[in-house]
Protein backbone atom coordinates (compact mmCIF):
# COMPACT_ATOMS: atom_id res chain seq x y z
CA UNK A 1 0.00 0.00 0.00
CA UNK A 2 1.47 3.30 -1.00
CA UNK A 3 1.21 6.17 1.51
CA UNK A 4 0.20 9.36 -0.01
CA UNK A 5 2.00 12.48 0.89
CA UNK A 6 0.23 15.52 2.21
CA UNK A 7 -2.17 17.12 -0.03
CA UNK A 8 -1.34 20.19 -2.02
CA UNK A 9 -2.96 22.51 0.49
CA UNK A 10 -1.07 21.03 3.44
CA UNK A 11 2.24 21.05 1.54
CA UNK A 12 1.78 24.64 0.58
CA UNK A 13 1.05 25.51 4.20
CA UNK A 14 4.20 23.73 5.40
CA UNK A 15 6.35 25.36 2.74
CA UNK A 16 5.02 28.72 3.73
CA UNK A 17 5.83 28.14 7.43
CA UNK A 18 9.27 26.63 6.88
CA UNK A 19 11.04 29.73 5.61
CA UNK A 20 9.47 31.78 8.42
CA UNK A 21 10.67 29.31 11.01
CA UNK A 22 14.15 29.28 9.54
CA UNK A 23 14.23 33.03 9.40
CA UNK A 24 13.04 33.24 13.01
CA UNK A 25 15.68 30.80 14.16
CA UNK A 26 18.32 32.72 12.29
CA UNK A 27 17.22 35.98 13.79
CA UNK A 28 17.14 34.48 17.29
CA UNK A 29 20.66 33.10 16.81
CA UNK A 30 21.87 36.44 15.57
CA UNK A 31 20.40 38.23 18.56
CA UNK A 32 21.98 35.73 20.95
CA UNK A 33 25.32 36.23 19.23
CA UNK A 34 25.03 40.00 19.48
CA UNK A 35 24.23 39.89 23.18
CA UNK A 36 27.16 37.58 23.80
CA UNK A 37 29.44 39.86 21.81
CA UNK A 38 28.35 42.88 23.81
CA UNK A 39 29.06 41.05 27.06
CA UNK A 40 32.58 40.17 25.88
CA UNK A 41 33.28 43.72 24.74
CA UNK A 42 32.20 45.20 28.07
CA UNK A 43 34.50 42.97 30.12
CA UNK A 44 37.95 44.65 30.57
CA UNK A 45 40.96 42.64 29.58
CA UNK A 46 44.04 42.19 31.75
CA UNK A 47 45.96 44.44 29.38
CA UNK A 48 43.42 47.21 29.84
CA UNK A 49 43.61 46.83 33.63
CA UNK A 50 47.41 47.04 33.52
CA UNK A 51 47.17 50.14 31.34
CA UNK A 52 44.79 51.81 33.79
CA UNK A 53 47.14 51.02 36.70
CA UNK A 54 50.12 52.38 34.79
CA UNK A 55 48.21 55.57 34.00
CA UNK A 56 47.30 55.92 37.67
CA UNK A 57 50.93 55.49 38.74
CA UNK A 58 52.06 58.04 36.16
CA UNK A 59 49.47 60.51 37.41
CA UNK A 60 50.63 60.07 41.02
CA UNK A 61 54.26 60.50 39.96
CA UNK A 62 53.41 63.63 37.98
CA UNK A 63 51.52 65.12 40.93
CA UNK A 64 54.44 64.36 43.26
CA UNK A 65 56.90 66.03 40.88
CA UNK A 66 54.68 69.09 40.54
CA UNK A 67 54.29 69.34 44.32
CA UNK A 68 58.06 69.04 44.80
CA UNK A 69 58.71 71.72 42.19
CA UNK A 70 56.19 74.07 43.80
CA UNK A 71 57.70 73.55 47.26
CA UNK A 72 61.20 74.19 45.90
CA UNK A 73 60.03 77.36 44.17
CA UNK A 74 58.34 78.61 47.35
CA UNK A 75 61.46 77.85 49.37
CA UNK A 76 63.64 79.67 46.85
CA UNK A 77 61.40 82.73 46.93
CA UNK A 78 61.38 82.69 50.73
CA UNK A 79 65.19 82.50 50.85
CA UNK A 80 65.49 85.37 48.38
CA UNK A 81 63.12 87.48 50.43
CA UNK A 82 64.84 86.46 53.69
CA UNK A 83 68.49 85.59 52.97
CA UNK A 84 70.67 83.66 55.41
CA UNK A 85 72.46 86.08 57.69
CA UNK A 86 76.20 86.11 58.28
CA UNK A 87 78.87 88.40 59.68
CA UNK A 88 82.18 89.69 58.43
CA UNK A 89 84.75 87.35 59.88
CA UNK A 90 88.18 88.61 60.87
CA UNK A 91 91.38 87.74 59.04
CA UNK A 92 94.20 85.43 60.02
CA UNK A 93 96.32 88.39 61.08
CA UNK A 94 93.57 89.78 63.32
CA UNK A 95 92.71 86.52 65.02
CA UNK A 96 93.17 85.73 68.70
CA UNK A 97 91.30 83.17 70.80
CA UNK A 98 89.39 86.00 72.52
CA UNK A 99 88.42 87.64 69.22
CA UNK A 100 87.27 84.29 67.94
CA UNK A 101 85.03 83.97 71.01
CA UNK A 102 83.49 87.40 70.35
CA UNK A 103 82.92 86.62 66.69
CA UNK A 104 81.05 83.43 67.52
CA UNK A 105 78.80 85.37 69.90
CA UNK A 106 78.22 87.97 67.20
CA UNK A 107 77.34 85.27 64.69
CA UNK A 108 74.86 83.58 67.05
CA UNK A 109 73.00 86.88 67.32
CA UNK A 110 72.00 86.39 63.67
CA UNK A 111 70.11 83.20 64.59
CA UNK A 112 66.38 83.31 65.23
CA UNK A 113 65.09 81.52 68.33
CA UNK A 114 62.64 82.09 71.17
CA UNK A 115 63.59 84.16 74.19
CA UNK A 116 63.26 81.15 76.51
CA UNK A 117 66.68 79.92 75.37
CA UNK A 118 69.90 80.95 77.10
CA UNK A 119 73.44 80.08 76.07
CA UNK A 120 77.04 80.64 76.96
CA UNK A 121 80.20 80.17 74.92
CA UNK A 122 83.51 78.84 76.19
CA UNK A 123 86.88 78.17 74.61
CA UNK A 124 87.76 74.46 74.84
CA UNK A 125 91.18 73.89 73.29
CA UNK A 126 93.60 74.55 70.47
CA UNK A 127 94.62 71.65 68.27
CA UNK A 128 98.02 71.93 66.60
CA UNK A 129 97.82 70.09 63.30
CA UNK A 130 100.38 69.78 60.52
CA UNK A 131 99.26 72.72 58.40
CA UNK A 132 96.81 74.53 60.66
CA UNK A 133 95.54 75.31 64.15
CA UNK A 134 92.01 74.42 65.16
CA UNK A 135 90.45 76.56 67.90
CA UNK A 136 87.49 74.69 69.40
CA UNK A 137 84.60 76.48 71.15
CA UNK A 138 81.48 75.05 72.75
CA UNK A 139 78.16 76.90 72.87
CA UNK A 140 75.79 75.33 75.42
CA UNK A 141 72.04 75.92 75.16
CA UNK A 142 69.33 75.36 77.75
CA UNK A 143 65.83 76.45 78.77
CA UNK A 144 65.80 77.48 82.44
CA UNK A 145 62.50 77.59 84.30
CA UNK A 146 61.35 78.88 87.68
CA UNK A 147 61.26 75.28 88.92
CA UNK A 148 64.68 74.45 87.45
CA UNK A 149 66.77 77.57 87.00
CA UNK A 150 69.77 75.30 86.37
CA UNK A 151 68.56 72.78 83.77
CA UNK A 152 69.99 69.29 83.91
CA UNK A 153 69.86 68.89 80.15
CA UNK A 154 71.67 71.10 77.64
CA UNK A 155 72.28 71.10 73.90
CA UNK A 156 75.72 71.96 72.58
CA UNK A 157 77.06 73.38 69.34
CA UNK A 158 80.79 73.03 68.64
CA UNK A 159 82.54 75.72 66.60
CA UNK A 160 85.93 75.27 64.99
CA UNK A 161 88.00 78.20 63.77
CA UNK A 162 90.72 77.03 61.41
CA UNK A 163 93.89 79.07 61.14
CA UNK A 164 96.04 77.87 58.25
CA UNK A 165 99.76 78.32 58.96
CA UNK A 166 100.85 79.29 55.45
CA UNK A 167 97.96 81.60 54.54
CA UNK A 168 98.53 85.37 54.17
CA UNK A 169 97.48 87.51 57.16
CA UNK A 170 94.77 89.28 55.15
CA UNK A 171 92.88 86.05 54.37
CA UNK A 172 89.63 85.48 56.33
CA UNK A 173 89.53 82.74 58.93
CA UNK A 174 87.64 79.50 58.19
CA UNK A 175 84.72 78.65 60.47
CA UNK A 176 82.51 75.58 60.68
CA UNK A 177 80.33 74.05 63.38
CA UNK A 178 78.32 70.96 64.27
CA UNK A 179 75.56 70.20 66.75
CA UNK A 180 75.88 67.63 69.48
CA UNK A 181 75.12 64.10 68.32
CA UNK A 182 74.91 65.17 64.65
CA UNK A 183 77.56 64.75 61.99
CA UNK A 184 76.44 67.38 59.48
CA UNK A 185 78.99 70.19 59.18
CA UNK A 186 77.55 73.71 58.92
CA UNK A 187 79.31 76.79 57.59
CA UNK A 188 78.26 80.38 58.31
CA UNK A 189 76.05 81.83 55.61
CA UNK A 190 75.37 78.41 54.05
CA UNK A 191 72.63 76.93 56.26
CA UNK A 192 69.80 78.58 58.14
CA UNK A 193 69.69 77.87 61.87
CA UNK A 194 66.63 75.97 63.11
CA UNK A 195 65.58 76.02 66.74
CA UNK A 196 64.21 72.50 66.23
CA UNK A 197 67.77 71.15 66.22
CA UNK A 198 68.25 72.25 69.83
CA UNK A 199 64.83 71.00 70.91
CA UNK A 200 65.48 67.57 69.38
CA UNK A 201 68.75 67.25 71.30
CA UNK A 202 67.11 68.31 74.58
CA UNK A 203 64.21 65.91 74.05
CA UNK A 204 66.50 62.97 73.22
CA UNK A 205 68.61 63.59 76.32
CA UNK A 206 65.53 63.95 78.54
CA UNK A 207 64.12 60.63 77.31
CA UNK A 208 67.47 58.95 77.95
CA UNK A 209 67.72 60.34 81.48
CA UNK A 210 64.18 59.23 82.32
CA UNK A 211 65.02 55.69 81.24
CA UNK A 212 68.01 55.48 83.61
CA UNK A 213 67.08 54.58 87.22
CA UNK A 214 68.85 56.58 89.91
Q: What is the mean pLDDT of residues 61-81?
A: 65
Per-residue model confidence as pLDDT tens digits over 73-107 = 555 555 557 899 999 999 999 999 999 999 999 99
CB-CB neighbours of 182 under 10 Å: 12
Q: pLDDT confidence of 20, banded at 50, 70, 90?
A: very low
**Per-residue confidence band for 67, with pLDDT thresholds at 50, 70 and 90:** confident
**Pairing status of strand 118-128 against strand 155-164:** unpaired
Give 148's pLDDT tier (boundaries 50, 70, 90).
Answer: confident
The predicted model gives 126-145 an average pLDDT of: 96
For residues 171 and 163, give the distance between their C-alpha atoms in angstroms, rounded to a whole number: 10
Whether the CB-CB separation of 104 and 90 falls below 8 Å is answered with no
Q: b/e map of 14-41 (b: 16 or more CB within 10 Å)?
A: eeeeeeeeeeeeeeeeeeeeeeeeeeee
- Please state the pTM of the whole predicted model: 0.62
Residue 53 confidence (pLDDT) = 66
Predicted pLDDT of residue 149: 83
Helix or strand run (H / E) with residue 58:
helix 46-81
Amino acid sequence: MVRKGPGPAVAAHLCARAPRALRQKKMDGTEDFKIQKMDVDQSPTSQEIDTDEDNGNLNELALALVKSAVNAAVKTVAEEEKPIKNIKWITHGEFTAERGHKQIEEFILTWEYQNCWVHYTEFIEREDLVHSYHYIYCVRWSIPTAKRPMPQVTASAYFTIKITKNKPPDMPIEVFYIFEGLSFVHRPGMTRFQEKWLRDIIEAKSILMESIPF
